[in-house]
């Protein structure tokens, strides 16, 4: 199960070749006071996976006995990652918020954090649910952006539903001068790390049943 409404995550998960269905749990995205960016993004990924498992359990038919893997994920853009003054950029509220984000990203390097949580969920034994998580940090550098470029990019409609107000896979690709880490994590789902995590959860489950 993919616990996500992100079309990017659905497209990327398809590349792992595992059939899946989508569930859409409602998880409030609110950073706690003093919560670090890394703690926040992992908490949300785990919450989405666990809320997705709970939702799946209510929808599964009474005689379903199979186990399911439920995947949740979260992406944030961070300026000054792991420093005392780190700033977390989520989806822009409006043009002014987006402008503020682009001015922070223009001509500098920022970090994109994507966390993935996977809950191994048993229909008949909810107390045996196991959740594991991973997080990928990718450094992305932007060229300096002019006010005209920022305004034109907003008008394209691409930034509105994306963390940090940009899509590397789209028109913002031309802003990127350097990337170190996982391109797929920036788009929303790190493929290598997600495949490893799914195997790790399955292996743990197999070990638990012995």
Ligand X SMILES: Cc1cn([C@H]2C[C@H](O)[C@@H](COP(=O)(O)OP(=O)(O)OP(=O)(O)O)O2)c(=O)[nH]c1=O
User: Which chain residues interact with ligand X by CB under 6 A?
Assistant: 4-6, 8-9, 29, 73-75, 77, 112, 162-164, 166-169, 186-188
Paired tokens of 98 = 């987006």
Q: What is the total residue count of the chain? A: 210
Q: What is the DSSP string of 102-119?
A: HHHHTTSEEEEEEEEEEE
Catalytic residue among 74, 97, 129, 161: 74
Identity of the residue, 29 or 125, whose beta carbon is nearer to ligand X in the bound complex: 29
**CB nearest ligand X: which residue?**
4
- Distances in Å between the alpha carbon of 80 and those of 6, 52, 92, 137? 26, 32, 18, 12
> Residue 51: what are its φ and ψ, rounded to 5°?
-65, -35
Nearest approach, Cβ of 27 to ligand X (angstroms)?
7
Measured at the alpha carbon of residue 119, what is the angle toward residues 20 and 91, in degrees to the nearest 5? 75
Nearest approach, Cβ of 3 to ligand X (angstroms)?
7
Q: How far is CA 73 from the centre of its chain?
A: 4
Identity of the residue, 25 or 201, whose beta carbon is nearer to ligand X in the bound complex: 25
Nearest approach, Cβ of 128 to ligand X (angstroms)?
25
Question: Does the annotation count 74 as an active-site position?
Answer: yes
Identity of the residue, 9 or 122, whose beta carbon is nearer to ligand X in the bound complex: 9
Active site residues: 74
């Amino acid at each position: 199960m993919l616990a996500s409404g992100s079309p990017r995550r659905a497209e990327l998960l398809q590349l792992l070749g595992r059939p899946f269905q989508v569930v859409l749990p409602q998880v409030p995205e609110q950073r706690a006071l003093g919560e670090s960016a890394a703690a926040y993004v992992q908490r949300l990924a785990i919450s989405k996976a666990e809320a997705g498992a709970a939702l799946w359990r209510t929808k599964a038919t009474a005689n379903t006995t199979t186990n399911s893997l439920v995947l949740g994920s979260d992406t944030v853009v961070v300026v000054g990652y792991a420093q005392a003054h780190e700033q977390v950029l989520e989806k822009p509220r409006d043009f002014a918020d987006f402008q503020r984000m682009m001015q922070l990203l223009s001509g500098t390097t920022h970090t994109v954090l994507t966390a993935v949580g996977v809950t191994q969920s048993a229909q008949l034994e909810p107390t045996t649910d196991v959740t594991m998580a991973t997080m990928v940090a990718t450094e992305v550098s932007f060229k300096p952006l002019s006010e005209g470029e920022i305004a034109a990019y907003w008008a394209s409609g691409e930034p509105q539903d994306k963390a940090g107000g940009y899509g590397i896979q789209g028109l913002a690709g031309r802003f990127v001068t350097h990337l170190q880490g996982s391109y797929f994590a920036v788009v929303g789902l790190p493929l290598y790390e997600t495949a490893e995590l799914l195997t790790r959860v399955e292996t743990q489950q197999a070990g638990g049943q012995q």
